[in-house]
Amino acid sequence: MFILRFIFKTITTLLAALAGNWTGDRLRGQVTGQNGHLLRLVHTNEQGESIVAINPLLSNLMPALILGSVGRPRWLYTFVGGVLASIFLGDRYEERFMEYLRGERSIGLGGISELT
């Protein structure tokens, strides 16, 4: 019985985080006038190539789950955390991660970007 309750609470919390992120993304889109992001992980670019996209809903999932660990009911705190993460953080994590993957970011040691 404990295992079923644990699985149910875990799934409920994850779904609340995703729903909160989606809701926050829609609210951010309405306020800023930007297009909201679609709930898909693969899209096709202008050249007709399929590209795996890192969904901003998923990149804001961790802040929502962290806030969900603060209080009870966890699903409510997770939902609110997802909304707040999507509204205030937006695409910052995703953009930085994509820059890192493309190699556009120079990683220096202690502020030194190049070693001579």
Span 90-105, pLDDT tens digits: 666 666 766 776 775 5
Q: Show Cβ contacts of residue 56 under 8 Å, excluding neighbours closer than 6 positions.
A: 21, 25, 37, 86, 90, 91, 93, 94
Span 10-34, pLDDT tens digits: 899 989 988 888 888 888 888 888 7
Alpha helices in 33-71 (DSSP H): 56-59, 61-68
